């Protein structure tokens, strides 16, 4: 590639949410490290409001979603946000590609988030290569694909669903937008519409590695040019090929790095329960309290991420009363935390990035899924990859304090035998994740082949 006069120029266009930016920005860094010119395309509001690490040497070019002053929060409803974005976004993206066409680096390919399918139409308009990048798992997307095709009729009848290349799924293990049909109509439409034009994409990328879902990947490969390019985890934790790359590099919330890392240091190995529900999930007060009492009554160490907007749900005086055993922060450097030797398990909402991160770092998970794809991820964590336990809710849908305490004790190997097997499996998957992205691993080769086709 060094002999070529011109580097290919790839635009990376994520949906403006933390769980979408992280894997796509990490993928951007991977391309950049292999000699590709890469430009990330955040929305105006995201670029103004995020904490961006400029050392990643990735160019940024902004487009508008129609809410330049406040992003998603500025819109009255998800519907209002999405319909405005769908109207303003294509014009703004087209104007950007046109403008770059008049520079020394016209765009060769657009890697777009599949939540933004109209971006593919824009790429076609300019005759550039198009890559559909999924930030959720293959299994989850296979469910949406079957809904799109009408093979899975909604509302569902019966308690289980059997789909090709996947284990039978109980209704409660399906993505919530499908299981509770009609409740989240705007998001449901977006996820089903991912498939409206995907047949025209030149490539379809998944942010995981082949061994995680071989059957579904093979099944999907019958329709599209599918490749696995992940896990897209900052380099220092897996392949170590990008120097000092220990964070994704774009945070919508400011992490309390020093507070977290100094608190963790000195804690005994595998003694801390790390708790986080990601960037979006909002817990009911009753559930929040059950978690709070579980962590307090267990009387072991915990590090809990409670976003500013969730803080009022904590019991009165909780942070102060638990400060001898716990640290509550509004955002943390999650990868650094997960890779710290004092962390023994991860109580997680099972967002796909958090799932992949814990899997890649070998941290056993206690799954408390809330909505969207998290229930399906939790099923795979417990039954397919066998790297965690699902904490079962009661008939009111609340996971009780006693259940949480028992599951933590199992994972930390304080009771029963399950924890040992889970730890062994976690180490196995960690090694496989590393192998996939190491030089010559399957995901790494896939990325090289993609680049070779662009030249």
Q: Any idea which residues carry the catalytic annotation? A: 20, 113
244-263 positions binding ligand UDP, by CB under 6 A: 255
Q: Judged by CB under 6 A, which of 7, 8, 18, 444 binds ligand UDP?
A: 18
Which of 82-90, 208-216, 271-279, 401-409 is the region at the interface with ligand UDP (rule: CB under 6 A)?
271-279
By CB under 6 A, tell whether 234 contacts ligand UDP: no
Q: Judged by CB under 6 A, which of 290, 357, 410, 444 binds ligand UDP?
A: 357
Which of 26-34, 82-90, 205-213, 275-283 is the region at the interface with ligand UDP (rule: CB under 6 A)?
275-283
Question: Which residues, 6 or more positions from 288, have their beta carbon under 8 angstroms from its beta carbon?
Answer: 310, 313, 314
Distance (Å, whole) CA 194 – CA 189: 9
By CB under 6 A, tell whether 72 contacts ligand UDP: no
Torsions phi, psi for 275 (to 5 deg) = -125, 125
By CB under 6 A, tell whether 19 contacts ligand UDP: yes
Least CB distance to ligand UDP at residue 74 (A): 19
Least CB distance to ligand UDP at residue 116 (A): 16
Least CB distance to ligand UDP at residue 71 (A): 15
Rank residues 53 and 200 by Cβ distance to ligand UDP and give the closer one: 53
Q: Judged by CB under 6 A, which of 137, 176, 232, 279 binds ligand UDP?
A: 279
Stretch 161-190: interaction string toward ligand UDP, x if CB under 6 A: ------------------------------
Which of 62-70, 75-83, 277-285, 436-444 is the region at the interface with ligand UDP (rule: CB under 6 A)?
277-285
Least CB distance to ligand UDP at residue 282 (A): 11
Q: Judged by CB under 6 A, which of 15, 352, 371, 385 binds ligand UDP?
A: 352
Q: Give the 3-state secondary structure of the chain.
A: CCCCCCCCEEEEECCCCHHHHHHHHHHHHHHHHCCCEEEECCEHHHHHHCEECHHHCCEECCECCCCCCCHHHHCCCHHHHHHHHHHHHHHHHHHHHHHHHCCCCCCCEEEEECCCCHHHHHHHHHCCEEEEEECCCHHHHHHHHHHHHCCCCCCCCCCEECCCCCCCEEHHHCCHHHHCCCCCHHHHHHHHHCCCCHHHCCEEEECCCHHHCHHHHHHHCCCCCEEECCCCCCHHHCCCCCCCCCCCCEECCCCCHHHHHHHHCCCCCCCEEEEECCCCCCCCHHHHHHHHHHHHHHCCEEEEECCHHHHHHCCCCHHHHCCCCEEEECCCCHHHHHCCCCEEEEEECCCHHHHHHHHHHCCCEEECCCCCCHHHHHHHHHHHCCCEEECCCCCCCCCCHHHHHHHHHHHCCCCCCHHHHHHHHHHHHHHHHHHHHCCCCHHHHHHHHHHHHHC
Rank residues 219 and 237 by Cβ distance to ligand UDP and give the closer one: 237
Least CB distance to ligand UDP at residue 140 (A): 12
Rank residues 115 and 128 by Cβ distance to ligand UDP and give the closer one: 115
By CB under 6 A, tell whether 305 contacts ligand UDP: yes
Rank residues 129 and 276 by Cβ distance to ligand UDP and give the closer one: 276
Stretch 22-61: interaction string toward ligand UDP, x if CB under 6 A: x---------------------------------------
Tokens representing 325 are: 């055993």
326-345 positions binding ligand UDP, by CB under 6 A: 331-332, 334-335
By CB under 6 A, tell whether 377 contacts ligand UDP: no
Find the distance separating the first CA and the last CA of the chain, reported in whole Å: 8
Least CB distance to ligand UDP at residue 256 (A): 9
Q: Judged by CB under 6 A, which of 137, 235, 353, 426 binds ligand UDP?
A: 353
Pairing of strands 343-348, 365-367: parallel
By CB under 6 A, tell whether 354 contacts ligand UDP: yes
By CB under 6 A, tell whether 235 contacts ligand UDP: no
**Angle at 30 (CA atoms; ends 24, 31), nearest 5 degrees:** 90
Distance (Å, whole) CA 99 – CA 420: 57
Rank residues 10 and 332 by Cβ distance to ligand UDP and give the closer one: 332
Q: Judged by CB under 6 A, which of 280, 398, 413, 432 binds ligand UDP?
A: 280
Residues binding ligand UDP (CB under 6 A): 18-19, 22, 255, 276, 278-281, 305, 331-332, 334-335, 351-354, 357
């Amino acid at each position: 590639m060094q002999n070529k006069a011109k580097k290919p120029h790839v635009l990376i266009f994520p949906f403006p949410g933390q769980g979408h930016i992280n894997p796509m920005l990490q993928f951007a860094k991977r391309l950049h490290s292999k000699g590709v010119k890469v430009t990330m395309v955040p929305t105006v509001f995201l670029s103004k409001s995020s904490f961006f690490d400029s050392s990643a040497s990735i160019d940024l070019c902004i487009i508008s979603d129609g809410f330049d002053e406040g992003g998603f929060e500025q819109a009255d409803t998800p519907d209002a946000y999405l319909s405005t974005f769908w109207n303003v976004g294509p014009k703004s993206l087209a104007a950007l590609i046109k403008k770059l066409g008049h520079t020394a680096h016209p765009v060769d390919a657009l890697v777009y988030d599949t939540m933004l399918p109209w971006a593919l139409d824009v790429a076609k308009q300019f005759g550039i290569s198009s890559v559909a990048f999924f930030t959720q798992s293959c299994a989850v997307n296979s469910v949406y694909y079957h809904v799109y095709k009408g093979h899975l009729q909604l509302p569902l009848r019966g308690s289980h669903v059997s789909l090709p290349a996947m284990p039978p799924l109980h209704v409660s293990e399906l993505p919530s937008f499908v299981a509770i049909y009609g409740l989240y109509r705007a998001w449901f439409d977006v996820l089903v519409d991912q498939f409206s034009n995907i047949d025209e994409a030149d490539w379809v990328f998944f942010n995981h590695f082949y061994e995680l879902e071989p059957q579904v990947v093979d099944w999907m490969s019958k329709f599209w040019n599918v490749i696995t390019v992940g896990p897209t985890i900052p380099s220092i934790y897996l392949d170590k090929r990008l120097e000092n790359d220990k964070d994704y590099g774009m945070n919508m919330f400011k992490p309390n790095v020093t507070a977290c890392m100094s608190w963790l240091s000195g804690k005994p190995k595998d003694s801390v329960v790390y708790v986080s529900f990601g960037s979006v999930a909002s817990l009911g007060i009753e559930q929040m309290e059950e978690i709070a009492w579980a962590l307090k009554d267990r009387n072991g160490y915990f590090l809990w991420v409670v976003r500013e907007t969730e803080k009022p749900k904590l019991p009165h005086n909780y942070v102060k009363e638990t400060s001898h055993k716990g640290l509550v922060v509004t955002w943390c450097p999650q990868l650094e935390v997960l890779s710290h030797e004092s962390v023994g398990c991860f109580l997680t909402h099972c967002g796909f990035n958090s799932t992949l991160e814990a899997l890649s770092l070998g941290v056993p998970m206690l799954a408390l899924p809330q909505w969207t794809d998290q229930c399906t991820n939790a099923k795979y964590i417990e039954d397919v990859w066998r790297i965690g336990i699902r904490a079962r809710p009661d008939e009111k849908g609340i996971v009780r304090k006693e259940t949480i305490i028992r599951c933590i004790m199992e994972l930390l190997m304080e009771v029963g035998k399950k924890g040992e097997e889970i730890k062994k499996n976690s180490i196995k998957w960690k090694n496989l994740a590393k192998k996939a992205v190491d030089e010559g691993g399957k995901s790494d080769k896939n990325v090289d082949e993609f680049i070779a086709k662009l030249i």
